[in-house]
Copies of this chain bind each other. A is one copy, B any other.
Amino acid sequence: MATIRVPEVVPSPAKDCEALHKAFEGFGTDEKAIIRILGCRNAAQRKLIRENYHQIYNKSLIDCLISELSGDFGKAVLLWTYDPPERDARLANEALKSKRMNITQLQVIAEIACASSPHHLVAVRQAYCSLFHRSLEEDIISNVSLPLQKILVSLVSSYRYDKEVVDSSLANVEATKLHEAVAAKKLHDHELLMILSTRNAYQLKKTFQLYKDNYGRSIDTDIMACGRGILESVMKVVIWCLDSPEKHFAEVVRAAIVGLGTDEDSLTRAIVARAEIDMMKVRGEYFDTNKSSLDNAVIGDTSGDYKDFLMTLLGAKI
């Protein structure tokens, strides 16, 4: 379900490093070569490239990219080249450092907490500690006020069972508990939070489905009916990321592109984060919802190397 295209015969990491090194040489930079190489390697391959580059040239590939590239293209290549847990730890830290935490920043934390595998989420927390010498949770507590603080700390601390084990009668009971909390507008209710932060993803999908079956409206619709504040918006992101991350990321792309101007940071984040996971599904979801193609939307709103890089991650042949 990934969109990146890894060539059938992949050059050795040393060969890739040589080509990248050559792309950095001289006055100009060969952006096309960087796109062609890094944009067509999966996370494990990029890791080997980073390690080999350091061994061969005694320099960090990341530092070279920082000095050679700039703008949205540079940011996108950099995010893509970091190890995925380090990338998300850096994104979370950047979001938490913002002077004004609004939905754009808070949704980054919610995405990492709710649209990641349990293993990836733990790796992000480990990377966060290594990079910033304190825990992700400590920074959420310092920078986010209650009740969102409590909600986000619970969600980033989750370690869910990751196999498909579903207990329908439990889902029914918990759909009722969720409904009672949402009906009372208690979005930070303890039981609601325990359900959302400890149950496995399959169990939660069933619970959300029974919520809709039993009460006629989906839980996210009911949450948005509680109010139009930031709490409701973040909780909607939480539900979407838990229920169907592809729906959430299709919406991130749409919101980044709609209207005048483009939110390049969000567009980059969505494509970089999901190109290796479920971008095919995101593309399908985007088409179903918007009756237009995600690829065309990206082409229409971006240009130059940035466009070429994103399109490479989306599987286009540049």
Contacts and interface: CB of A to CB of B under 8 A. Distances in A.
Interface of A: 118, 122, 125-126, 129, 133-138, 141, 146, 149-150, 153-154, 157-163, 165, 190, 194, 197-200
A199 B161 CA distance: 26
Contacts of A153: 194, 198
A263 to B, nearest CB: 31
A198 B142 CA distance: 11
Interface centre among A159, A160, A198 (most CB of B within 10 A): A159
Interface centre among A149, A165, A190 (most CB of B within 10 A): A190
Contact of A160 (B135, B160, B194): B135
A138 B190 contact: no
A159 B194 contact: no
Contacts of A197: 137
Contact of A122 (B122, B138, B162): B122
A120 B122 CA distance: 12
Copies of this protein, total: 2
Contact of A135 (B122, B138, B161): B161
B161 A159 contact: no
Interface centre among A146, A160, A198, A200 (most CB of B within 10 A): A198
Contacts of A146: 190
Contacts of A135: 158-161, 198, 200
A165 B134 contact: yes
A118 B134 CA distance: 12
Closest 4 CB pairs of A and B: A157-B157, A137-B198, A125-B159, A129-B161
A17 to B, nearest CB: 31
A50 B133 CA distance: 36
Contacts of A160: 129, 135
Contact of A133 (B126, B133, B154, B161): B161
